[in-house]
Copies of this chain bind each other. A is one copy, B any other.
Amino acid sequence: MEKVENIVVIGGVAAGPKVAAKVRRQDPTANITLLTEEEYLSYSICNLPYFIGDIVKNPKELLVREPAYFKNIFNIDTLLCHRAIKIDTAKKEVKVLDLETQKEKSFPYDKLILATGASPIRPPIKGIEFQNIFTLRTIPDAIKIKSAAEQAQRAVVVGGGLIGLEVAENLAKRGLETTVIEKLDQILPPLDRDMALLVEKHIKAKGVDVSTSDGVESFEGKRDGKVYIVNTGKRKISAELVVMSVGVRPNVQLAKEAGIELGTTGAIKVNERMETTVPDVYAAGDCAETINLVTGKTAWIPLATTAAKQGRVAAINATGGYDSFKGVVGTLVVRVFDLNVAKAGLSEKEALREGFKPETTIAVGPDKSLDSKEIMVKLIADKTSGCLLGAQIIGQGNVDKRIDVVATALNFGATVEQLSKLDLAYAPQYGTAMDPLITSANVLRNKLAGETVGISAEQVKAKLERREDFILLDVRSPREYQEARIEGCRHIHIYELAKKTGELDSQKEVVTYCGSGLRAALACRILKNANFKDVKYMDGSLKAWPYELKV
């Protein structure tokens, strides 16, 4: 094993500190230098929205580790406010600008690890230079936004992704009248539209204005240099505070200039040992690519969890060991007011885009036996292989547990059948004897076997709008039906259905619905037994219906 004298790590958040600490554990004597252009080291980016919302009160609580910790425990020199400006891969040297003294320094390296992270996109919209238009990525960003929020009454968040929604919620909870503007026709782009619509409904009910298929055309300010108006294609919104949350880009300029190859995603190309295309240079975290294990394709999914794992792998390989990072399955979770929203693997639209033949299902169930809350599980599987492709789970109940099970199952290429038979833990405080995830998998197995056919709320809505000739059948109890129903439905209580099939035209397409899909699916079986030729049930039924009901 070659002797490593100098190890330089560029990047002070997530992957960088992880690399440095692990390098020291592997190599007791190397000189380790951890550089960051920021004034803070090793903090939690994911907690920043909650600092704005005062859930995290003090910036110090955002810090994971302080420089003294690295020095005292690991004998690692951490240099804050030091910007790496050039990598000379031939001389194996990093040129660094000390932002305080404005002096340049050089650091030789035997091994170099790039953990340069990602930066928020700040699109060149007219008026973007006005004050109080922020992006959120660093502690100073968060401090500025919080301080501006203290004086503002109205805020606009541009971008309805995960961070955008977290920021919007925290601003709204501070009492600001908050609007989210999203270019796409749905918030939370990684989700399918059907699930995203339900989240949108929830956010609106909490008092946050959401405008989809809408983009900012310009900002208007006043003489004081501050923003006052956000112009979208649709309207003018007054706001004294704007947070741009339209995505991030990997920080790759330094690598690119050094001749380190970028991948198709625009992030730094690495192999599973986190090696870049240049010898002795590694990359980890948000600046690096990875593999989506569900598709087998290169992906760029910048997340703190991945950064930590990649950092460890890079550190082990950079110190003469062997480790590999095979990839991710695209797991995410976000809390949106009272709603937990999670995803792993592919959405239905992503599965289609990737050339799979997806079958999907939506099932609703209680998350526990005692003191339960509801969750809705959408599963996506490949019709050809029967393999699970992904899941989206939302609800006030516990979704993170189920998504972690899905993520683990996806990691091992599980079939839907395997998912349906997992030995998940049960006691009344934690779950139900048949977990909603297990039930969903069984419902999906029925579909994959051709025993039942589902149809989405969106498709039913479209059929109604096109005035198609089909029977929409509400099979709930008379009381439920009286309370609220989909306009244009017929009603036969499931208890009566077997006797009353003669009242319906068995040659017509029938779509059944109930509260959450269970009785609707049973109704399909009853109709099939009565020789109806085309019966479907509405997936998730009224629980998954994001539109108006007739009351």
Contacts and interface: CB of A to CB of B under 8 A. Distances in A.
A153 interface: no
Contacts of A434: 305, 308
A301 to B, nearest CB: 9
Contacts of A76: none
Given A408-B405, A408-B408, A344 B433 contact: no
Q: What 5 A-B pairs have minimum CB-CB distances, sorted nearest first?
A: A412-B412, A333-B425, A401-B401, A28-B529, A304-B433
A311 to B, nearest CB: 10
A335 B421 contact: no
Interface hub of A47, A425, A525 (most chain B Cβ within 10 A): A425
A426 B333 contact: yes
A306 B528 CA distance: 30
B47 A369 contact: yes
A248 interface: no
Given A44-B369, A404-B401, A305 B424 contact: yes
Interface string A427-449: 11111011100100010000000
A85 interface: no
A421 B304 contact: no
A362 to B, nearest CB: 19
Given A28-B525, A55-B370, A403 B425 contact: yes
20 contacts: A28-B525, A29-B529, A44-B369, A46-B369, A50-B428, A305-B433, A308-B438, A309-B421, A312-B442, A329-B423, A331-B424, A335-B429, A344-B425, A398-B401, A400-B430, A404-B424, A405-B408, A408-B409, A408-B424, A412-B414
B430 A46 contact: no
A29 to B, nearest CB: 8
A100 B208 CA distance: 62
A433 B46 contact: yes
B405 A423 contact: no
Interface of A: 14, 25, 28-29, 44, 46-47, 50, 55-56, 72-73, 75, 293, 303-309, 312, 325-326, 328-335, 340, 342, 344, 369-370, 398, 400-401, 403-405, 407-409, 411-412, 414, 418, 420-431, 433-435, 438, 442, 494-495, 498, 519, 522, 525-526, 528-529
Contacts of A344: 423, 425
Contacts of A312: 442
Contact of A50 (B325, B370, B526): B370
A29 B531 CA distance: 13
Nearest to A420: B309
A388 to B, nearest CB: 12
B50 A423 contact: no
A342 B425 contact: yes
Nearest to A325: B421
Contacts of A409: 408, 412
Given A305-B433, A326-B421, A335 B427 contact: yes
A423 B306 contact: yes
Given A50-B370, A309-B438, A407-B424, 7 more contacts: A46-B427, A47-B369, A305-B426, A306-B423, A331-B423, A332-B427, A400-B430
Nearest to A48: B428
A75 B25 CA distance: 67
Nearest to A329: B423
A407 B426 contact: no
Contacts of A429: 335
Given A47-B370, A308-B433, A75 B331 contact: no
A133 to B, nearest CB: 25
